[in-house]
Amino acid sequence: MTSAALAIPPAQPAVKRVAIIQSNYIPWKGYFDIIGAVDLFILLDDAQFTRRDWRNRNRIKTPAGLQWLSIPVVSKGRYTEPIDAIAIAEPWAEAHWRSLEVNYRRAACFAAIEGELRALYEEAAQQRLLSAINFGLLRGICRLLGIATPIRRSREFAPEGAKTDRLLSICRSAGATEYLSGPAARAYLEIDKFEAAGIAVRWMDYAGYPEYPQLFGPFEHGVSILDLLFNTGRDAPRYMKGFAW
């Protein structure tokens, strides 16, 4: 047997896929699909808070149409503050839970998951910073969906630069070999900088989501993940992408 026949091919470097997104309040199913598709999910909460955005609000379905649930925050005169410095202006959790209860109590799986979600809201009510509320709710909902991806905060990675450079800095610190991004970032992400650093850029595809049994009129994909959970319960991953229980 020749030495060539005995040669062992070199080990291929392990792939580590990372996603980086600002924290959102009870976001839609696509946000959780990104979390489930990566090895590490990082909340970009050292980024500037944006008003009238998904950071502190989201939509649910009601008999009267879509309704916003918004967490009141102290933002006046603080438009340049980072997300993780934004404080809560007044109690909010009880009112939000009442809205969820009123509008979803007749949903097929409301009773089955009511206790777990109510507990998450009780915990969130104790927090005084928006970022802490979103962090806790994201982790709790991931548990309900069976997503085990670690979630960390951007400040842990000592980010540097702005825009693409900042994202690339975090990816390098996290040891990423692939960066998974939402499709909207195609308009501004400088892919060549990732390529030069040896980090492949992948794009999340939100097309082709199946409809699920949903209350109140025509089907709407762009609502909070809670809509999916209340209507389908433990079967929720069947209506999502790329992972299962």
- Residues 163-186: tens digit of each pLDDT: 999 999 999 999 999 999 999 999
Could you read off the pLDDT of 96-108 as tens digits, one per residue?
Answer: 999 999 999 999 9
Task: List, in order, residues 6 or more apart from 208 with CB less than 8 Å away.
Answer: none
Q: For residue 122, give both structure tokens.
A: 């009780």
Phi then psi for 68, rounded to 5 degrees? Answer: -80, 135
Cα 18 from Cα 45, distance rounded (Å):
16
Is residue 244 domain-resident?
Answer: no
Is residue 9 domain-resident?
Answer: no
Nearest Cα residue to 48 out of 150, 163, 164: 163
Is residue 94 domain-resident?
Answer: yes
Q: What is the pLDDT of residue 26?
A: 98
Q: What is the pLDDT of residue 10?
A: 53
Q: What is the pLDDT of residue 244?
A: 43
Q: What is the pLDDT of residue 7?
A: 60
Q: What is the pLDDT of residue 13?
A: 60
Is residue 50 domain-resident?
Answer: yes
Q: What is the pLDDT of residue 176?
A: 98
Is residue 49 domain-resident?
Answer: yes
Q: What is the pLDDT of residue 77?
A: 75
Q: What is the pLDDT of residue 15?
A: 83
What is the 8-class DSSP label of residue 196?
H
Contact 225, 31 (CB under 8 A): yes
State the pairing for strand pair 65-70/17-21.
unpaired
Q: For residue 118, give both structure tokens.
A: 């109510």
Cα 82 from Cα 45, distance rounded (Å):
7
Q: What is the pLDDT of residue 6?
A: 55
Is residue 10 domain-resident?
Answer: no
Name the amino acid, one letter, at 210. P
Q: What is the pLDDT of residue 52?
A: 87
Name the amino acid, one letter, at 40. L
Is residue 5 domain-resident?
Answer: no
Domain count, the chain: 1
Contact 66, 227 (CB under 8 A): no
For residue 97, the enclosing domain spans: 17-207+214-239
Low-confidence ranges of the chain (pLDDT < 70): 1-13, 242-245
Is residue 95 domain-resident?
Answer: yes
